[in-house]
């Protein structure tokens, strides 16, 4: 994104808060290694699960097994949320609201797999890595790879001043 999303300061910000620059937020999303994905089951009940994701091509990508609950949920409702952040009252929390799409294009799958391998290193590339072979699974589509196109991203600053920066993406 050349100019970045439209940015404003939300109503839950302290009186001395300023909007967090987009570069800071996208940098944090690029460095983050674990997110929580929130989807909705067909019967309306929520579903949340921690997973690996990478910021690539101005959105978040993740993969999962074809029989997982999140795949079933996204088949009926592609809207989802990914969250990450701190578990203290300092630092930032991030919420990415968007629409997930199944990625099937071989070139795009290769790019996402490469981004995962760069982000997670030996965990994916060495035989003793926890997720060894996941990149190849993405490339061969033996796992389901999703791309989440953001509609809005929130960066919640914890500590004085508390802040709520909103980044609005054009569709």
Reported confidence tier of residue 1, pLDDT bands at 50, 70, 90? very low
Reported confidence tier of residue 132, pLDDT bands at 50, 70, 90? confident
pLDDT at 5 over 80: yes
Token pair for 115: 């981004």
pLDDT at 121 over 90: no
Chain centroid to Cα 5, Å, comes to: 16
pLDDT at 27 over 80: yes
- Of all helices (H) and strands (E), which one includes residue 171? none
Per-residue pLDDT of 10-21, as tens digits, reads 999 999 999 999
Mean pLDDT of 68-97: 96
Predicted pLDDT of residue 4: 85
Contact (Cβ atoms closer than 8 angstroms) between residue 35 and residue 70: no
Mean pLDDT of 139-166: 95
Contact (Cβ atoms closer than 8 angstroms) between residue 85 and residue 96: no
Question: Average pLDDT over the chain, rounded to whole?
Answer: 94
Predicted pLDDT of residue 76: 96
As beta bridge partners, residue 35 has 51
pLDDT at 151 over 60: yes
More confident of the two residues 126 and 6: 6
pLDDT at 2 over 60: no
């Amino acid at each position: 994104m050349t100019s970045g999303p439209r940015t404003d300061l939300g109503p839950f910000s302290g009186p001395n808060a300023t909007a967090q620059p987009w570069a800071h937020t996208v940098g944090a999303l690029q460095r983050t290694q674990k997110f929580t994905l929130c989807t909705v089951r067909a019967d309306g009940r929520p579903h949340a699960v921690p997973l690996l994701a990478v910021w690539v091509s101005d959105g978040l990508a993740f993969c999962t097994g074809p029989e997982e609950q999140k795949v079933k949920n996204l088949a009926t409702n592609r809207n989802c949320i990914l969250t990450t952040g701190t578990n203290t009252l300092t630092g930032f929390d991030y919420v990415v609201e968007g629409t997930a799409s199944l990625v099937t294009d071989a070139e795009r799958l290769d790019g996402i797999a490469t981004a995962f391998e760069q982000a997670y290193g030996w965990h994916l590339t060495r035989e003793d890595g926890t997720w060894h072979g996941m990149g190849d699974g993405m490339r061969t589509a033996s796992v389901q790879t999703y791309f989440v196109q953001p509609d809005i991203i929130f960066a919640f600053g914890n500590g004085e001043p508390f802040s709520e920066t909103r980044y609005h993406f054009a569709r």
